[in-house]
Amino acid sequence: MTFPTLPFPAYTPQKNRYMRQNPVKTKLRAGQPTFGTWLTLGDLYATRVLARMSWDWLTLDIEHSAIDWAQATMIFGAVADAGCVPLARIPDGDHTTIKRTLDAGAWGVIVPMVDTVEQARAAIAAAKYPPLGNRSVGGGMHAMNFGATAGDYYQQANNEILVVLQTESPTGVANAEEIYALPGCDAIFVGPNDLRAQMRSADGTDPTPEEHEAMIQRVIAAGQKVNCPTGMHTMEPEEALQRAEEGMQFLAVGSDLRMMTVYAQQSLKKLRPDGDQRDLARY
């Protein structure tokens, strides 16, 4: 019995070392703004659609969404295969969390609630292979997402993995310059809602908009002083562009959930002006 000839050549290993470069790191180093959005639904179809648009990066929110490791791995792969950059906002800066996220195929991590230099150093080390850090060597899914062999990934990952630390408290702002100046800190990301909550007075009173904005401006100034890109979560593209004008470079615009919700509510408001317009999703 004979079989038809395959219409494509058989796979042959590449002789030259090769690994996809992280274009987000390249843009940040060049002083250019980057724009992305949050993936909170954990839906593969929605992810594949967004990954084929012109976002610089897509961040899977593992901190606040009910997403397991199997989902995360599929989503990282879908984003990478579409030519976009898959990132993850992780639940904490724990070594195991960072290791598993990167081994699952993320091209970088966004670490929440980094208040001290010690926390920042630990997170950066967990994302770097020795001798720069203490990330454990293993796995193969990470290399696949970079289009690399496992060996090439182990050799080159330290140059391509993106480490973004979040400033979300007055303590983090107070320690900003020392944190932002650390080698391996690729960018800083402000969580505006958490920053506002952490600024509340003892009786639960929120800071004024002016006080909140002044804290954000301190972050921008600290980043510019030590040449570290900064960014934050915005809800509208106009706000993202405004922050880029102020010098921010790592900017998120809403989320898949918010985009779906906002458009649905706008449609229903025209169809049923007296219908339910509850605040159902912000991110």
User: One digit per residue, pLDDT tens: the chain, 283 residues?
Assistant: 443 443 433 333 444 468 999 999 999 999 999 999 999 999 999 999 999 999 999 999 999 999 999 999 999 999 999 999 999 999 999 999 999 999 999 999 999 999 999 999 999 999 999 999 999 999 999 999 999 999 999 999 999 999 999 999 999 999 999 999 999 999 999 999 999 999 999 999 999 999 999 999 999 999 999 999 999 999 999 999 999 999 999 999 999 999 999 999 999 999 988 877 777 777 7
- What is each CA distance from 94 to 53, 101, 111, 212, in whole angstroms? 32, 11, 9, 28
Active-site residue, from 64, 95, 142, 233: 64
Please state, in angstroms and rounded to a whole number, the distance separating the CA atoms of residues 229 and 195.
18
Distance in Å from the first CA to the final CA of the chain: 58
Q: What percent of the residues of the chain are helix, what percent strand, and what percent coil, each to the nearest 5?
A: 45, 15, 40
Asked if 212 is an active-site residue, the reply is no
pTM score, two decimals? 0.91
